[in-house]
Amino acid sequence: MNDSASPRHLALLGLALLGAGAPFVWGWGGVALVGATAAGVMAVRRGPASAPVRIAAWTAALGAPLVGLTAFTLNMAAPNVVTAGQKAAERMAVASLRTLLWAQDRFIEAHGRAGLLAELGGARADGAPLPTPLVRPAYRALQPTPTGQAATDGGYHYQVWVVDQGGRAWADGGPLPPAGARAWRACAWPQTRGATAGAVFCINQVEDILQSDNQAPNQGYDGLTRPPAADACVGTPASPRLTPGVGRDGGTWAYWRGKRTRRAKAADGPARQ
C-alpha cells in the first residue's frame, strides 16, 4: 500500500475491503479481508486522527479477522465437532448393544429364555421373581414406540425383541415370550437423526453386529416415532443369522467395521472361519 496514504484513506479502504470480503470469506473474499486488516492496522499506526477515522480503522483491523474466524468456525470447526460427537455416539451404541448381549447371556442362564428390556431391568409383567437388574437405570426407563417399548441412552434409542422358533418377535409392552425362546435381536437407532447420530445398528444372540447408514427410503429411523421393525436388519431371504446385504427394510446392511466378531466366527463353525 502507498506509504503516503492518510489514516483517513486507509481506514476507508479497510472498511471497503471488509464490506466486500465479509459476504464471501473464502477465495478472493479472504484476500479482501487480509487487505482490510492490513489497511486498518496501517491507519491506526499513522498517528493522530479524528475519532471517526480511528473507529473506522479499528473496525477494519479487528473486524476482518473476527469475520474470518467466525466463518472458519461455522464452516469447518463446528461441523467437525458435530461429526466427532456423532461418531462417539455410534461407538457407544455398539458398546451398549454388546452390554445387552452380556445381560441376555446371564438372563438365559437363569430363566431358560431370552429376556425383554424390562426383564433385563428386573421387572416382569407377571410378577415372577427376577435376579438383580442386569442393565443400567437408563435401560429400565422404557417409552412406547410403534414397535414396542424402547430405552434411551447417549443419543440413541434401544429396543429388544425375543424371537421364537417360528420367527415371531416379542417386544416390551406386549405378551411375554414363550418358554425356551433363546433367540433375540436388538436395534439401536438415533434419538435425533442427523444431530445425535446417523447410523443404525443391530445385534443378535451370537453377536452378529450389522450397521446401516439409515439413508434408504424405508429407513430414516429417528426418535421414538420412527423406530426400526423387529426384522429390519434381517436379510432377504430370511436367515436365523444377521448377514450383510439388503435387509427387510430395503436398506443396505454391513458388518460393523467390516468384520465378524469372535463370537460370531465361533458360531459359524470351522468351515466358515
DSSP string, 138-177: GGTS-EEETTEEEEEETTEEEEEEEE-TT--EEETTSPPP
User: Is residue 57's pLDDT more than 70?
Assistant: no
* pLDDT tens per residue, range 152-198: 998 999 999 999 988 899 999 999 999 999 999 999 999 999 887 89
Q: Taking the domains of the chain in order of start, what are their residue ranges?
A: 7-78, 88-272
Q: How confident is the model at residue 248 (pLDDT cuts 50, 70, 90)?
A: very high
**Bridge partners of 150?**
143
Q: Within 13 A of 212's CA, how many CA atoms are on the CB side?
A: 31
Please state, in angstroms and rounded to a whole number, the distance separating the CA atoms of residues 71 and 65.
Answer: 10
* pLDDT tens per residue, range 65-89: 666 566 655 555 445 555 666 788 8
Q: Which residue has the cell 469475520?
A: 67
Would you state the cell numbers that stand for residue 174, as one nine-digit string?
Answer: 406386549
Most confident of 20-24, 46-50, 133-137, 153-157: 153-157
State pTM to two decimals. Answer: 0.69
Q: In the prediction, which pLDDT does 63 show?
A: 57
Q: In the prediction, which pLDDT does 187 show?
A: 97
Q: How far apart are the first and last CA of the chain?
A: 71
The better pLDDT of the pair 137, 127 is held by 137
What is the 3-state secondary structure of 65-94? HHHHHHHHHHHHHHHHHHHHHHHHHHHHHH
User: Is residue 264's pLDDT more than 50?
Assistant: yes
Would you state the cell numbers that stand for residue 266, as one nine-digit string?
Answer: 465361533
Q: Within 13 A of 155's CA, how many CA atoms are on the CB side?
A: 19
Q: In the prediction, which pLDDT does 14 show?
A: 58
